[in-house]
Amino acid sequence: MSEQRPSASHLPSKPNLRHLKDQAKDRLANGDAPSLAMALFQVARHYGFPSWPKLRDHVLCLPFAENLKQAINLDNLAEVWQLLAETPRIETCTNRLLRRWTADLGG
């Protein structure tokens, strides 16, 4: 079964993990969650992700995605290869990007 694409439309255009973690801490402080883990889960669900790790991975992959898209659009093969070689967690990012780009193209 394929993973459903998260709806990140409510995320800021440049989401920040520190800000998202602060949202979770606010939920915890307000008594909206019994633990930090549950508060992180609630923040992820609020933004349409099934878990905090999925939201975190999405946010961490965004700069890579932007840089890769720009390098591809400029036909800068050297930059594409450099990005692919230097980016940690490359499999997570590229798999997520391919699913998103395919969905954006209507595939």
For 74-95, what is each residue's pLDDT tens digit?
Answer: 999 999 888 888 876 667 776 7
| Structural domain span for residue 69 | 53-107
How many domains does the structure of the chain reveal? 2
Does some domain include residue 36?
A: yes
Domain boundary among 6, 29, 48: 48
6 within some domain: no
Q: 15-24: long-range contacts at Cβ-Cβ below 8 A with a sequence spacing of 24 or more?
A: 15/59, 15/62, 16/59, 17/56, 17/59, 17/60, 20/55, 20/59
Residue 74 shares a structural domain with residue 103: yes
- Of 49, 89, 98, whose CA–CA distance to 69 is shortest? 98
Distance CA 38, CA 92 (A): 24
When pLDDT is cut at 50, 70 and 90, the band that residue 55 belongs to is very high
Q: Is residue 3 part of a domain?
A: no
In a domain, 10, yes or no: no
Residue 40: is it exposed, middle or buried by C-beta count within 10 angstroms (0-12/13-18/19+)? buried
The confidence score (pLDDT) of residue 104 equals: 66
Position 2 pLDDT exceeds 50: no
1 SS3 class? coil
For residues 39 and 64, state if they share a domain. Answer: no
- Examine the domain organization and report whether 23 and 57 are in the same domain: no
